[in-house]
């Protein structure tokens, strides 16, 4: 498999999962502004959507969207327990989490990278804060989103929360989220993925 990524973008989520699962993975950086890969390939020819994550399977199948890739990778090694089995209520809870992260947190945090009037930005921050309030309460008495075990949704939420400092959202207002990010950042697979993307030093 090959993952096209931009450092620290939502492509970090499947990158982390591949490391957690010990799955062989080639990676190639993408310049999202120019839509060109590190090797000089036209990224739009690979993924016409023009954004990461983009995963190319060994048979040439192209997949994208962090929530979908989270499930796909988790299912590659079900024995690792990063995602519940198909058909179980626990599986639907994970899908619920992934959807919430994608539509409410990723979208809300990502939008703050744009240029907005002070009034519009304040309204956007207020809406995002309600979502972070909910997550903070949920994680106050749990180590991970699904309780006491790291799972696929945690890689996604960790990644998106990492954007907070880049958009001037102070996570210290949500101490459980700060502790959560620190806990996940300490995982060896997370460290390895971040080193590979040049986000931190080895």
Q: Which H or E element spans position 192? A: helix 188-196
pLDDT at 202: 86
Q: Which long-range contacts (CB under 8 A, 24 or more apart) does 96-99 make?
A: 97/145, 97/146, 97/153, 97/157, 98/66, 98/67, 98/70, 98/71, 98/152, 98/153, 98/156, 99/67
Predicted TM-score of the model (pTM)? 0.96
Quote the pLDDT of residue 144. 97
Nearest 5 degrees, angle CA 186-CA 157-CA 87? 110
Cα separation, 160 vs 54, in Å, equals: 17
Query: From first to last of its 202 residues, what are the pLDDT tens digits of the chain?
Result: 999 999 999 999 999 999 999 999 999 999 999 999 999 999 999 999 999 999 999 999 999 999 999 999 999 999 999 999 999 999 999 999 999 999 999 999 999 999 999 999 999 999 999 999 999 999 999 999 998 999 999 999 999 999 999 999 999 999 999 999 999 999 999 999 999 999 999 8
Q: What pLDDT is attached to residue 135?
A: 98
Answer for the pair 16, 73: CB distance below 8 angstroms, yes or no. Answer: no
Residue with tokens 């982390």: 16
- CA dist 98 and 22 (Å) reads 22
* CA–CA dist 49, 11 (Å, integer): 14
Bridge partners of 54, per DSSP, are 4, 64
Q: Please check whether residue 46 is in contact with residue 56, taking contact to mean a CB–CB distance below 8 angstroms.
A: yes
């Amino acid at each position: 498999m090959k993952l096209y990524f931009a450092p620290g973008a939502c492509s970090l989520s499947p990158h982390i999962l591949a490391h957690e699962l010990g799955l062989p993975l080639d990676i190639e950086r993408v310049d999202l502004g120019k839509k060109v890969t590190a090797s000089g390939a036209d990224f739009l020819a690979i993924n016409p959507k023009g954004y990461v994550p983009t995963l190319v399977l060994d048979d040439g199948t192209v997949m994208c969207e962090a929530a979908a890739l989270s499930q796909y990778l988790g299912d590659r090694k079900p024995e690792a327990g990063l995602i519940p089995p198909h058909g179980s209520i626990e599986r639907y809870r994970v899908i619920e989490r992934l959807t919430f992260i994608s539509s409410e947190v990723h979208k809300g945090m990502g939008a703050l990278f744009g240029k907005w009037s002070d009034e519009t930005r304040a309204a956007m921050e207020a809406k995002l804060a309600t979502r972070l309030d909910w997550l903070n309460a949920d994680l106050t008495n749990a180590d991970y989103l699904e309780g006491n075990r790291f799972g696929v949704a945690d890689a996604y939420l960790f990644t998106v929360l990492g954007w907070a400092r880049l958009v001037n959202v102070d996570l210290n207002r949500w101490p459980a989220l700060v502790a959560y990010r620190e806990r996940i950042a300490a995982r060896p697979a997370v460290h390895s993925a971040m080193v590979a993307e040049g986000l931190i030093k080895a």
